[in-house]
Amino acid sequence: MSIRIDSAPRVAASSNSQWCIDMGPKRIRACGTPRRAGAGTVRPMQLQGKHILLGMSGGIACYKVAELVRLLGKAGATVQVVMSEGAEAFITPVTMQALSNHRVVTSQWDALEPNNMAHINLSRQADLMLIAPASADMIAKLAQGRADEVLSLTALARPIERCPLLIAPAMNREMWAHPATQRNLAQVQADGARVLGVGTGDQACGEVGDGRMLEAAELLDEVIAHFQPKLLAGKSLLITAGPTFEPIDPVRGITNLSSGKMGFAIARAAAEAGAKVTLVAGPVHLPTPRHVRRIDVQTARQMFDAVMPEVAAHDVFVATAAVADWRPIHASAHKIKKDVSREGKGANATFELTENPDILAAVGHLPSAPLCIGFAAESEKLAEHARAKLVRKKAALIVGNIGPATFGRDDNALLLVDAEGEREIPHNDKLSLARELVREIAKKLQ
């Protein structure tokens, strides 16, 4: 295959796999070209109807919780804040009340409660208790089952089965690493709480290390994930996502408009459902979903080389990547210069392309292939093309969508095509579609 570059835009293909892409200087999208912003974004109220009991103990990370309360509220949750005396030293109950729109509980001797038992009433209404920040002292109290102030008392008084406890620790790195803290964390986990882990970096004390509280957006994701059914617990998924980039020279390449959003949404939905997830990502500007292991690649061959050794360790392979079918046989070591002597007179450049490996087909044809899910981005005859791919790539399911209608967007509509038939998943945001796909994968794994 060869590509010829002329100054006049023109596209042609011939049967002997010779392509001519004739273009002006900006016709092939190269690295760094802005992608289309997601239009028509659907933002679901993911915590609608959920009642979160938010306990705050003392720590500079209290400032992050102000933002967290806003995010939880925007996601549809009702938030009831309980503050320890230590928390009040860092942020006022007035601030937390204004943000949560609820009276903040700061004392176990709260006479405004009709039965004077705030510690009992609070957890009876809650779907989840989150302690953020959880100081080393608060974690020690929880480990011992102490009840000498309102927050540890409320945590102890909650019905363990109905109102699970999430803990977001925040402390200095030495306090975090101390055997006493680690022992206490092990104890609270043994008692059924989930410890959300900590971040690494600059600390308020000037030191650098582990112990920072997770960011507000990360905590929001953890709360949302908590409420997702664990349909893929014990399973592992390998996912490809995004475009690939095939270099022509050091500054240009062949790529496509895939944003990676669908693949990243599936990775997030699978991790929320309890799966171990490995995400092999082409060049995209998306944050890694929590608890997902990410391998970054650029070209189709790098994606192939990253996927193949991982296959045996995974139960499911989901190929969402828009892998370039072709790559230049020889990428020029130096920038290809235009012929200035022929400028404006129809200058040409020609270079040859060769086929890239088909990753999904390679995995699908392995003797002990995992459950394989592929995507088909088409512009017409969706069901027909999807069914052809199902057979050709030996996939268990092909997810069809209209390519131009999905690339770069936050929403989509899907057509599931498998041996049993076809089923439409109506238009929705990509995370909701991904959760629907997770349900489908769970069914197929049964």
Q: How far is the CB of 391 from ligand C5P (least distance, A)?
A: 12
- Residue 57 is encoded by which pair of tokens? 């103990």
Is residue 205 annotated as part of the catalytic site, yes or no? Answer: yes
Looking at 12-135, list the stretches that DSSP marks H as alpha helix, in order from N- to C-terminal side: 62-74, 85-88, 93-100, 118-125
From CA 69, how far away is CA 98, in angstroms rounded?
10
For ligand C5P, the closer of residues 4 and 385 by Cβ is 385
- Residue 257 is encoded by which pair of tokens? 């408009």
For ligand C5P, the closer of residues 349 and 366 by Cβ is 366
Q: Cα angle at 108 between 107 and 114, to 5 degrees?
A: 105
Q: Cα angle at 221 between 145 and 423, to 5 degrees?
A: 125
Q: How far is the CB of 405 from ligand C5P (least distance, A)?
A: 16
Residues that bind ligand C5P (CB under 6 A): 240, 300, 319-321, 323, 356-360, 374-376, 389
Q: Which residues contact 278 (CB under 8 A, 6 or more apart)?
A: 236, 237, 238, 239, 292, 293, 294, 295, 310, 314
- Residue 408 is encoded by which pair of tokens? 């770069």
Q: Label the pairing between strands 165-169 and 316-319.
A: unpaired
Nearest CA among 244, 349, 323 for reference residue 27: 349
Q: How far is the CB of 301 from ligand C5P (least distance, A)?
A: 10
**Rg of the chain on CA atoms, in Å:** 27
Looking at 20, 62, 163, 205, which residue is catalytic?
Answer: 205
For ligand C5P, the closer of residues 277 and 376 by Cβ is 376
| Whole-number Cα distances in Å, 74 to 70, 92, 133, 428 | 6, 21, 20, 19
100 and 68 in contact (C-beta within 8 Å)? Answer: no
Q: How far is the CB of 395 from ligand C5P (least distance, A)?
A: 8
For ligand C5P, the closer of residues 272 and 358 by Cβ is 358
Q: Cα angle at 426 between 425 and 432, to 5 degrees?
A: 75
For ligand C5P, the closer of residues 184 and 259 by Cβ is 259
Q: Return the SS3 of 280.
A: strand
The alpha carbon of 231 is separated from its chain's Cα centroid by a whole number of angstroms, namely: 17
Q: How far is the CB of 388 from ligand C5P (least distance, A)?
A: 9
Q: How far is the CB of 248 from ligand C5P (least distance, A)?
A: 18
Report the amino acid identity of residue 63. Y
For ligand C5P, the closer of residues 106 and 240 by Cβ is 240
From CA 185, how far away is CA 169, in angstroms rounded?
9
For ligand C5P, the closer of residues 20 and 360 by Cβ is 360
DSSP lists the bridge partners of residue 236 as 276
Cβ neighbours of 197 (radius 10 Å): 15
Report the amino acid identity of residue 146. R
Q: How far is the CB of 19 from ligand C5P (least distance, A)?
A: 16
Q: Catalytic amino acids?
A: 205
